[in-house]
Structure 1
Amino acid sequence: MIVPIIGNVTYSITMDPTVWIFDDRKILLHEAFSSNKQPIDNNEDDIEKAAKRWENEVFHHKINPPVNKSISRLEGKKILTESYVMPIKDFINHAEVKPEAKEAKLITRDGDIILSLSDLMDAYLFFAREGKPLKEDGPVHLMYQDGSNKDNPIKGIKKIEVL
């Protein structure tokens, strides 16, 4: 269930889509191709919650800053019923593509697919259907951000090689 990014990069990295369900960068599938797409996390709510926590702690004289953003039981149940995509750009940037790289090869169960590096950078990886990993035809599907292949994504991606 992992997808390595290898090839003409400074750092080969391994993506694990099974942990993205709790990643703040994920986008709801049904919002990914609309004009108002946003990551699931709402910063204003977080700031407001943090301010209330701070106020509570100060007034009760015990300052214990929160270590992690916790997810309520209701939020956890909702997360596990939705379908999500993850923008791939952050992962490609983290691997540090070398300047001479122009293309990428998607190594899939059904054969290799070559696409431009810019098309890869502007793509989503579909990784969760109704809160569950894509086991049969996954671990990820590639969908272009313009939605041109959302009904027929590139499936069964096992590895991404930057050329």
Structure 2
Amino acid sequence: MNTILTITGNVRFSITLDPSTWIFDDRKIEEKDFFSVSEEKLEDYTEVMSKHWSREIQEGQAFPPTLKTEKRYEKEKLVTSTYGILLHPFIMNAEPGEDAMEIEIVTKEKSYYFPLEKVNSMLLCFSKLGKPIKENGPVLLYFRDGSNKDKPISSIERFTIH
């Protein structure tokens, strides 16, 4: 199983994704929250996390004594929770061409084609119960509406923009 994914095709920049590093990414969200989060709440969350990230860059990361317990809780949560990350920011960083219309999700078995606008509703699950997804991985793709909650797109090898 290849653990690296690529975004290629009608993009300005080809991008390589390594899901094993996303556990440290502040943009990760718990899978259980993804299906219950509205678009507005997700945008609010993104804005709050952006401000937090900017503050940490400018001021450095500080852990006051009152946060020690919270820090321990967060570490424990990392090794027991299921996490995902939105696909949309990665696609936007690749800068799809102005004439790009669809995304092809290439798996070991077949390819799936979706309008490029649908990327806004895609979550890449990269960790199940604190462990990387090895079987049918490295990621599982879910839709925000939960339509494939029981049968996510699996064995993804790459994303191609057309």
TM-score by length of 1: 0.78
The residue aligned with 2:19 is 17
Distance 1:69 1:100, change over 3 A: farther
1:97 and 1:5 map into 2 onto residues whose CA distance is: 10
The residue aligned with 1:123 is 122
2:119 and 2:96 map into 1 onto residues whose CA distance is: 12
Task: Return 5+ residue gaps in structure 2 as ranges.
Answer: 64-69
2:105 and 2:91 map into 1 onto residues whose CA distance is: 13
| Larger gyration radius, structure 1 or structure 2 | 1
The residue aligned with 1:67 is 60
Q: Which has the higher helix share?
A: 2
Amino acid at match of 2:113: I
Would you say 1:142 and 2:141 are equivalent positions?
Answer: yes
Task: Return 5+ residue gaps in structure 1 as ranges.
Answer: 51-64
* Residues 4-30 of structure 1: CA deviation (Å, up to 9, x unaligned): 000000000011111111211111111
What number of residue pairs does the alignment pair up? Answer: 146
Aligned-residue RMSD, C-alpha:
2.7
Distance 1:69 1:147, change over 3 A: farther
Q: Runs in 1 of length 4+ with deviation above 2 angstroms? A: 35-40, 65-74
Distance 1:78 1:69, change over 3 A: farther
Could you tell me how far 1:66 is from its partner in structure 2?
5.7
- 1:1-163 to structure 2, matched below 5 A, reads 1-35=3-37, 67-68=60-61, 72-163=71-162
Could you tell me how far 1:78 is from its partner in structure 2?
1.4
2:80 and 2:89 map into 1 onto residues whose CA distance is: 25
1:69 and 1:9 map into 2 onto residues whose CA distance is: 38
